[in-house]
Structure 1
């Protein structure tokens, strides 16, 4: 495995951010309704086989219909949860109201760097809706890494700040993706050493990695003892948005030179992590800050 030298920009540059997550689902209508009515995303495109949902004109989620795809096996790696980031507590309070009214709240936590609500879509995929605290308020260890914890979230106080919106704010965007993997060591080597993400926090059975000092763009855990590669319904792929076409070309070249199998996927390319999870790369568009 080849990693960039310390003087080089990492393969995933500091200016990268997470893009869309794509899910393979059996019932497209029901799943679209959940992400529209509960999460609050707008349907931006729709066909018999697929739907794009987003906010403020930017895509957040792709749903791909495949009634013949088998359910994900309990032993298989894959999605722990997707994560949709909203701009403030007023928007998070509105999300709480929508979940209570139209869905089921599975949990809520103060993670020190963010405040989060958890629910599950009709296909069994975990969903986190969260808002970040200001970056300067994030607690950090002596080595500069971010400290992420879990504490109770005051739901009554959060609901009192709701702006009552039925739809997600235009500033809503993809925040991170959290994966269930078969090996922390192999997965960390791929995302940290090969892609160049920084390890921000490590806890028992989990690692959190990011570009540009964010608290995490990718979370990985082995909490449920997954032993087999990813497969079945659920996560199809997720993507990183790079600043421009030159950054995409550089990332592709570096990964090819490191013997990572690269597949072209217009308008970018795709590689797979050690569990077969597809990670895509493309340049961000003018509508994607």
Structure 2
């Protein structure tokens, strides 16, 4: 993997979701996707790939409801695997188990797509080397092409899928927003990301350090889409990791200057983008 998810970059490190039923979701995330349980309570579970770092938390809030359609929130979160052979093993695992999946070649990466029992969408991908990416005047070139599954499956390991590799990380998050430009200003002028690519006037891909994207935004739920209820399934919040306190404080002050709110939450800070998506600002 390339070094786009460590200092000095800012990147997405963790995602917290709301689900309807923990007991239904746990087997999916452990048996089907291959996470390990790091911590568990009656209402939440932290999942890990390496046995020590939480990448994903699922909560079952009191009086949880299903997220209404045509609202803002999470389109998908994306787990980045270390090697293409890991993706090959996962593809074979999905085929063997019969789990419905999608697959795409994005030029910068190859990806599989699945959904959890609540319909929360998940991308699992591997990056091509950064020197293979094509940068044009308007950003990095990405497509949605069919994946070459036959070629990929030739890389399967003899032992097959053994769960998420220890070096799996949170690669990016893709969000539904209600208005593209104001939300982009929040992330670019506020949180310090840069536009890496755009798709028409419907989607933007944002990153630090010339990654293809750490965060993506789209208006595919409709311009002016409302924020879902607080206790609904889907995204609770996600975490952006900054390299140091100075970088984070700069982002905080920029968000405040834009009229946004930032609230201290333990050792971290919580903010909300213009679409109502909650973001925890943390340090590496």
Aligned-CA RMSD value: 1.8
| Equivalent position to 2:186, from 190, 205, 226 | 190
Q: Is the Cα contact below 8 Å between 1:53 and 1:60 reproduced in 2?
A: yes
Deviations 1:222-259 (Å, cap 9, x if unpaired)?
A: 22326212332110011111123343334333433443
Output the TM-score relative to the length of structure 1.
0.88
**Structure 1 CA distance for aligned equivalents of residues 254 and 183 of structure 2:** 18
**Structure 1 CA distance for aligned equivalents of residues 180 and 246 of structure 2:** 31
Output the TM-score relative to the length of structure 2.
0.90
Partner of 2:140: 146
Paired residue secondary structure (2:123): strand
Change (3 A) 1:218 1:266: same
| Equivalent position to 2:222, from 216, 220, 225 | 225
Change (3 A) 1:251 1:190: closer
Name the count of aligned residue pairs.
271
Partner of 1:77: 72
**Structure 1 CA distance for aligned equivalents of residues 179 and 258 of structure 2:** 21
Deviations 1:54-86 (Å, cap 9, x if unpaired)?
A: 212222101111251211111211111110000
Partner of 1:212: 209
Q: Is the Cα contact below 8 Å between 1:38 and 1:103 reproduced in 2?
A: no
* Structure 1 spans left out of the alignment, 5+ residues: 1-12, 285-289
Paired residue secondary structure (1:225): coil
**Structure 2 CA distance for aligned equivalents of residues 151 and 256 of structure 1:** 40
* Structure 2 spans left out of the alignment, 5+ residues: 1-6
In the TM superposition, residue 14 of structure 1 has moved relative to its aligned partner by: 5.4
Partner of 1:55: 49
**Structure 2 CA distance for aligned equivalents of residues 69 and 178 of structure 1:** 23
**Structure 1 CA distance for aligned equivalents of residues 110 and 62 of structure 2:** 35
Alignment of 1:97 with 2:92, yes or no, is: yes
